[in-house]
Amino acid sequence: MKTVELAVLILITGGLLYPIERGAGQLASTTPSGTPAVQPVSPAPQTSPEKKGEMDVGLGLAPEGKITSPITDDWLNAVVSIEIVSGEKPIPIGTGFLIVTEKDHVILVTAKHVITGGTEKVVEDLGYRFNNTERGSNLVREGDFSRSTGTWFLSEKADLACRYISWKPNNVIKGIPVNMLLRQKYLRAGAPVLVFGFPIGLRSEQHPTAIARRGTVARSDTDGLMLDAFMFPGNSGGPVFYMPTFSVDDVFLKSPYLNAPRLIGLVTSYVPYTDVAVSAQTKRPRITFEENSGLSNTVTADELIDLLGRPEIVKLDGELPPAPQ
């Protein structure tokens, strides 16, 4: 029996697969006698002097067009610090984010408990901090919005609230398109996520940039959506995005994974656990501590889609004047 040897070479470049053309560069060919004959590999082409690599662009510089993250200023400008402005200094109490409807109107979304304090009534003296064109921020009070935008709409079954907003020309308003929402049924445990917010009031009045935190979907089932990500007071109401670990061009290289970011919900609380200190002498519990487990509860995009579909919200979307461009 004859033994047939087979050699295959695949060149991987730029994330795409290219076949090697037959010719002098192939690793092996077959002689008329059937015996494989090794062919020399073509030498690697020399790098032309005018072409620079990523390490040859100068001290502290990066090649033109190269970035370190898919997150841009537009993403950050869609996240809002929600504050109480009754005292001398505004106090951050939570996070909100902006959604753009199909009619190009802007809706502010947050967790219901942030604006109600855990009651069924919206608290007074709320303020919302937006970036402005002078690279600073504007604190907009509830009464500064146009009356035509209405008031807060509270979800009856989820920790969720929203309202339409108006703004002045010097505010930088960027919103998340409503078609970026992804229903929970597509989420699986282990999916990578990115959460934006202002934990423990960490925000600058001059540059109120949200803090980004990575995590994963810990559980996604009929009991709800839970994240493996540390959250703290102030994160409530912050948006949660599915972020693909590695995005590929689905035209040339097919992938079973969703390759684009999607809004999957908003943070409502962290999951605590109780640790007990026991007396070494009496063996009885003396002190209990509530600790952060590193797990977080999330309101799903399904709940937000349901809220945005309420008749009174859809009606107001059709009645509002065109949004400024």
pLDDT level of residue 208 (50, 70, 90 thresholds):
confident
Q: In 3-state terms, what secondary structure has residue 140?
A: strand
What pLDDT does residue 36 have? 43
191-205, 251-265, 278-292: least confidently modelled range: 251-265
Q: How far is CA 40 from the centre of its chain?
A: 50
Domains of the chain: 73-178+304-319 (2.40.10.10), 187-300 (2.40.10)
Find out whether 262 and 121 touch, Cβ atoms under 8 Å.
no
Mean confidence (pLDDT) of the chain: 83
| 33-82: pLDDT as tens digits | 443 444 445 555 555 555 566 777 788 888 888 888 888 888 888 999 99
Most confident of 16-25, 32-41, 69-78, 213-222: 213-222
CB 213: neighbour CB atoms within 10 A? 21
Exposed e or buried b per residue across 100-131, where buried means at least 16 C-beta atoms within 10 angstroms of its C-beta? bbeeebbbbbbbbbbbbeeeeebeeebbbbbb
165 Cβ neighbours under 8 A, 6+ residues apart = 98, 106, 107, 108, 128, 140, 145, 149
| 115-171: pLDDT as tens digits | 999 888 999 999 999 988 777 888 999 999 999 999 999 999 999 999 999 998 888
Say which DSSP state 47 is in.
Answer: P
Joined tokens for residue 196: 């934006």
